[in-house]
Amino acid sequence: MSFRLAIPVLLALAPSAFAAEQADLMIRHATVVDVERATTVADQTVVVRGQDIVAVGNDRAMRKAWRATQDVDGKGRYLIPGLWDMHVHFGGGPALIEENKALLPLYIAHGITTIRDASGDLPEQVLQWRGEIASGQLAGPQLFTSGAKIEGIKPVWKGTLEVGSQADLDAAFVRLKRDRVDFVKITDSTLTPELFLAAVRGARANGLRASGHIPMALTVQQAVDAGISSIEHLDYAYKAGVKDEAAIAADFAAKRIDRAQANARLDAGFDPDTAMAAYRGFAAKGVFVTPTLNGGRILDFLDQDDHRDDPYLAYIGPKLQATYAWRVERAAKATPAQIQARHQEYHQVAAVLPMLQQAGVTIMAGTDAGFLNSFNYPGIGLHEELSLFVKEGLTPAQALSAATRAGPAWFGTLDRYGAVAPGKAADLVLLERNPLEDIEATRGIQYVVVRGHGYDRKALDALLEQTRAKVADWKAEDAAPKP
């Protein structure tokens, strides 16, 4: 080919070689929050195509390389990865399915792009929602679920796989694997200590993470040694810091003491050195802790705030609200001495939170929100949990990490979630202020991206209104005279 012929060929190639690629969304001029390093990078433009972040960089370079169907102005605002609530519940029986379903928009409206269902009594329904959300048929946060929890025979909790023998346990894992659950939840209402440990080991043997409550007749260390992956509720971490925990467990197992006596000994026996040794062991074995502080705070201080006038009740269906009653009624029967003890116990347990952090334990933000757990609200509850984390001794950066990186770390998906970077999932929250300086900034949400789909403030408010309107209709139906 002559030189004269080559020039037109190069000129023909040039325009297409440098044409801007097509994207779906560009968030421009935002300050990106690097949660892992607790730093910020100013004036960044984030490019989203499909469900992926495909590019991040200065606006001039991004505008040159990309064009998008939609532009969002992020100037003066802070962009974080989507929030994760790692402990929620759906339940109350078949009559409450629609009221539970109406909670899903509340999570998105509060910047929560992923939730972990820790089992209620609607496991089949939740499994169905998981599939519908993943396929785009149902709007909601990414949903991980344990399916039905493993329990003993005739437990307090409904919607369980009742296990009274090794054969029952084997059958339970066949069912859970059939349902393709994301992890295993184990509780201790009637499950024997031996079967509890077998269930934890069985989860590991079946390639699943085990999460749960730990029987009083066992030490926390026994559950850790069996392979539990996450400890739900901070009081179990507190229990691990009691110097004579093994003796208390043995006395309870032998029925020499009852639960109230065991709790009294646990309350009095906490030892910081014992606790730190145990917590360093958690960290070494990769055991995470989900404190669920907010649920305990609400119940322990019902004498100071009965929550009857909470504006957020407008988003909670009447039948779901009715499930709050049993805990409220039980708390109302407490004597002044019992109320004072509740307050003291809350502060004792909450004080171990910074100790876990110091020991290197990964703390996961989870609310325990859902049915039964009085006034512990889906959506806003996670922001309340983060506020408590900081109040009890974590830095805003540590609290933010607990809600953005800890969940992906537990599921082994930090390659996909937990950062604003190319190749990560397009789950994002645009805030008015810097959450590294003030954790309350997570409440000031201007824009949310869930699996690449953007919601501006108007759309987020519409999600809230959607649930509020449903709740209003249900209340009107309940109040209407019956024929």
Q: What's residue 3's pLDDT? A: 36
Q: What's residue 308's pLDDT? A: 92
Q: What's residue 482's pLDDT? A: 73
Nearest to 319 by CA among 477, 199, 480, 186: 477
Please give the CATH number for the structural domain made up of 19-80+427-451.
2.30.40.10
Please give the CATH number for the structural domain made up of 83-411.
3.20.20.140
- Which residue in this structure is represented by tokens 């983060």? 386
Q: What's residue 18's pLDDT? A: 57
Alpha carbon separation from 285 to 200, 280, 360, 392 (Å, rounded): 14, 9, 11, 25
Indicate where the chain has its CATH 3.20.20.140 domain(s): 83-411
Alpha carbon separation from 242 to 223, 237, 279, 400 (Å, rounded): 15, 9, 12, 29
Are 396 and 437 in contact, with CB atoms under 8 Å apart? yes
Are 270 and 238 in contact, with CB atoms under 8 Å apart? yes
Are 389 and 435 in contact, with CB atoms under 8 Å apart? no
Q: Where do runs of H (alpha helix) occur along 333-405? A: 336-350, 353-359, 380-391, 396-404
Q: What's residue 2's pLDDT? A: 39
Long-range contacts of 472-480 (CB under 8 A, 24+ apart): 472/314, 474/99, 474/317, 474/318, 474/319, 475/318, 478/318
Indicate where the chain has its CATH 2.30.40.10 domain(s): 19-80+427-451
pLDDT digits (tens, 9 = 90+) for 13-65: 333 445 899 999 999 999 999 999 999 999 999 999 999 999 999 999 999 99
In the chain, which stretches have pLDDT less than 50?
A: 1-17
Cα–Cα distance, 445 to 34 (Å, whole number):
18
Q: What's residue 13's pLDDT? A: 34
Other C-beta atoms lying within 10 Å of the C-beta of residue 380: 21
3-state secondary structure of 154: coil
- List strand residue ranges (DSSP E) for 118-269, in order: 142-145, 149-151, 160-162, 184-186, 210-212, 230-232
Are 390 and 365 in contact, with CB atoms under 8 Å apart? no
Alpha carbon separation from 255 to 187, 192, 313, 397 (Å, rounded): 20, 14, 42, 45
pLDDT digits (tens, 9 = 90+) for 245-277: 999 999 999 999 999 999 999 999 999 999 999
Alpha carbon separation from 298 to 188, 190, 343 (Å, rounded): 23, 26, 11
